[in-house]
Chains A and B, each alone.
Chain A
Amino acid sequence: MERWQLIAALILVYLAVTLGIGLMAGRRASRSVTGYVAGDRRFGLLVMYFVTGATVFSAFAFLGGPGWAYSRGAAAFYILSYGALGIAPWYFIGPHAAALGRRFGYVTQAQLLVGRFPSRFLSALMAALSVAAFVPYVTLQMQGAGIVIEAVTDGHVPLAVGAAIAYGIVALYVLTSGVAAVGWTNTFQGIFMVAIAWSLGIYLPFRLYGGVGEMFERILAERPEMLSVPGLTAAGDPWSWGGYSSAILVSAIGLMMWPHLFMKAFTARDDRTLRRTVVLFPTFQLFLIPVFLIGFAGVLLPESPPNADFILPFLILRSELPVLVVGLFCAGALSASMSTGDALLHAAASVTVEDGIGPFRRLSDAGQRRLMQVLVLVVGVVAYWFALDEDSSLVVLLLTAYGIICQFAPPICAALFWRRATTPGIVAGLVAGSATAVFFFTTGYLGMELRPLDLHEGILGLMVHIPVLVGVSLATRPQDRDHTEAFLNPRGSSGTHD
């Protein structure tokens, strides 16, 4: 048996275990929509922790993280900076949103927003923006899975086949088990990813340079520009402080606004679990350190991979590791891809049905569930179609997706904390902010650099969004006091915000 066949066999074993866990988890969940979307609201701490961690750490962290450290040096540190910043406000926002979810039966972010600001247009707009942001994200995950499989099997299993197998399995367990499968598979995959990242992150610098400190001393001697923030751009020129700082800000704001993460607030068993997940989250974040070490280990190699994102598989293959280790690494990278991809597919389908179609057509519980299952397949196929186009500039699209997603932050905060916000204010702000972000993205894409100080288009969008939201709200009739009270203080007089 050849080396690549052994590796392929290991990957198959791993995928079979994932599938088994996913299918078994579903047998315990109820058949209702709440069961499918919100896991009957009873995820415990261990599952919540890994669901959140594994969902956030996608193929971008596992392949893109080392890729950034390898090609852009200290620019990658922005990825380490934003996670803890983004999650901290969730300590109060999460239980607040969860209380509203339990009280009014919300399962998506847009339902919460439309509950406070009744508008079918707002609901449809949220659904459209979410799905538009999801597709490039799912595509990126699929390409990640395909890249890893293609690289470690010496091209015997091409990207298209690898991505199809991995995501065929994801579709199978998401279709049958819904969010319960996502929870239990992510727990398994999360543990796997952390173990693989730490062991490789320590092993590679020792193997190639004799130690972590020795590696950085050599990089400092030969490529000092790699170790100074803000690092380099993709083209190898120095990156700007404006670009670096606003990337941290936009990612921190966007992080918790991703619908697939926000919806986790509605799956938590109780507030205690949600709060503890927030407390433990930064420990998961530190897992980026070994991920960066892997990328830095490649900096001084004479040869280079075809694309910076291939640096991890490239190093693995060059260092002639035992077959078992290569197989395990591969499974770790697939975990990263699949654990984000499944949550995305699931959320995209839920959001389309609940927010895009629900307000306009009444569907039975069974009908909704079936429609979501169809949509999981549709979104999967669309993303797969894009994934086959290998030179599509997806990372660019993903950054724009962040720019759009972070526009959800002002309306959500207003819904939960600002009594004076009105429906016209929210709609006008969201339209203006998203349009601004898209405008700066499009002009930049066409070669006209109009962004002041190299700021991220998402931040520029917020600069327009917030004044419009506040201005239009103050100019329109305030909402009924009893109505706003229910959202500002969902648990009656003993709320946490006093």
Chain B
Amino acid sequence: MNRVKLVRAATTIYFVLFLVFVTWPGFVPFNRPLPLVLGLPFNMAAIGLWVGLGAVVLFVLDRSEERNRAGRPAEDARGRPGRDSRAGGAG
């Protein structure tokens, strides 16, 4: 359980840092063309890295959430079908 929350927090922090470091003023130190990375200007590669790592971070989050869901099937089963019948009240 705690692990799940930790991963959620880490994901949130990653994307907040992502926003901070691709806009002003966080991006300023990375805003130079050299050295070229795989032929691309340094600043463009830095943004590409944030995006690529973003996919990795989301993947880790997804694994963690899936394991969490699989880990408490009893709770899920109770929540879903019959027992909790407050449903149905149309807005």
| A279 lies within 8 A of B62 (CB) | yes
Interface residues of B in 17-71 (CB under 8 A from A): 18-19, 22-25, 27, 31-34, 36, 38-41, 43-44, 47-48, 50-52, 54-55, 58-59, 61-62, 65
> With A244-B24, A286-B51, A486-B91 given, is the CB distance from A279 to B80 under 8 Å?
no
CB-defined contacts of A104 to chain B, threshold 8 Å:
90-91
> With A213-B36, A482-B89 given, is the CB distance from A84 to B50 under 8 Å?
yes
Partner pick for A494 among B55, B75, B90, CB 8 A cutoff:
B75
B35 to chain A, nearest CB (A): 10
CB-defined contacts of A220 to chain B, threshold 8 Å:
33-34, 41
| B51 lies within 8 A of A494 (CB) | no
| Bound-complex Cα distance A279 to B44 (A) | 22
| A80 lies within 8 A of B65 (CB) | no
Partner pick for A81 among B22, B39, B58, B79, CB 8 A cutoff:
B22
| A275 lies within 8 A of B62 (CB) | yes
Q: Is the interface of A mostly helix, strand, loop or mixed?
A: helix
Interface residues of A in 255-290 (CB under 8 A from B): 275-276, 278-283, 285-286, 289
Please report the total number of B residues contacting A with Cβ < 8 Å.
Answer: 43
| Bound-complex Cα distance A280 to B90 (A) | 34
B61 to chain A, nearest CB (A): 7
Residue A292 interfacial (CB < 8 Å)? yes
Residue B78 interfacial (CB < 8 Å)? yes
| A228 lies within 8 A of B62 (CB) | no
Residue A371 interfacial (CB < 8 Å)? no
> With A88-B54, A212-B39, A212-B40 given, is the CB distance from A228 to B31 under 8 Å?
yes
| A282 lies within 8 A of B54 (CB) | yes
Residue A370 interfacial (CB < 8 Å)? no
Known: A84-B51, A227-B33, A275-B65. 19 other contacts (CB 8 A): A81-B23, A85-B22, A104-B90, A118-B91, A215-B39, A216-B33, A216-B41, A220-B34, A229-B31, A245-B23, A248-B23, A278-B58, A279-B55, A279-B61, A282-B51, A485-B86, A486-B89, A492-B80, A492-B84
